Amino acid sequence: MFCKNCGNPMDPNAVVCVRCGCARGTGISYCPNCGSPTAPGAAVCLKCGSALTTAPVTGDKSKMAAGLLGIFLGSLGIHNFYLGYTSKAVAQLLLTLIGSFITCGISAVACEIWGLVEGIMILTGKIDKDAKGMALKD
């Protein structure tokens, strides 16, 4: 088995490539069967004939859970904590909690709209990956 991103040989039980750090099954540059470079958009490897297209790798985060967290608790950034975007989540949390004292609640309303919009974007598929780049489960 070879990494589809860098062509490095991989252990069949490996979750990520030790050379480039990409998750197993991600990448389109090399054949996972023989490790030779592949043409962009090719369906089969020209060297070994192995199929190059596979089902997309999905993570363990739920699109429904993230979307509902964004809609109902979005001003606190809970959906971003759930998806692994901790910097953005901390910014939302601080703007809501500390900023509301300074701006008399205006920043809290802005963060609620921000969270609502992100929750809707998650549910409609505009935001479809977590912080690790893994696709969200339906």
Structural domain ending residue among the three candidates 29, 54, 79? 54
pLDDT mean across residues, the chain:
89
Same domain for 71 and 50, yes or no, is no
Domain that holds residue 40: 1-54
Same domain for 43 and 102, yes or no, is no
pLDDT of residue 124: 96
pLDDT of residue 81: 96
Same domain for 91 and 121, yes or no, is yes
- Region 41-52 average pLDDT: 83
Same domain for 24 and 66, yes or no, is no
Give the N- to C-terminal CA distance of the chain in Å, as an integer.
29
CB 119, CB 68: distance < 8 Å: yes
- Region 98-102 average pLDDT: 87
Same domain for 76 and 133, yes or no, is yes
pLDDT of residue 54: 57
3-state secondary structure of 59: strand
At 31, the pLDDT band (50, 70, 90 cuts) reads: confident
3-state secondary structure of 34: coil
Of 111 and 100, the one with more pLDDT: 111
Same domain for 45 and 64, yes or no, is no
Listed ranges 22-31, 54-63, 100-109, 122-131; the one with the highest mean pLDDT: 122-131
Structural domain ending residue among the three candidates 54, 79, 98? 54
Same domain for 95 and 72, yes or no, is yes
Structural domain ending residue among the three candidates 54, 76, 91? 54
Same domain for 47 and 83, yes or no, is no
Same domain for 66 and 131, yes or no, is yes
Same domain for 43 and 70, yes or no, is no
Of 33 and 89, the one with more pLDDT: 89
pLDDT of residue 28: 78
Which residue shows structure tokens 């030779």?
Answer: 36
Same domain for 50 and 65, yes or no, is no
The pTM for the full model equals: 0.60
pLDDT digits (tens, 9 = 90+) for 57-92: 677 899 999 999 999 999 999 999 999 999 999 999
Which 8-state DSSP code applies to residue 136?
A: E
Same domain for 82 and 123, yes or no, is yes
pLDDT of residue 116: 97
Total domain count for the chain?
2
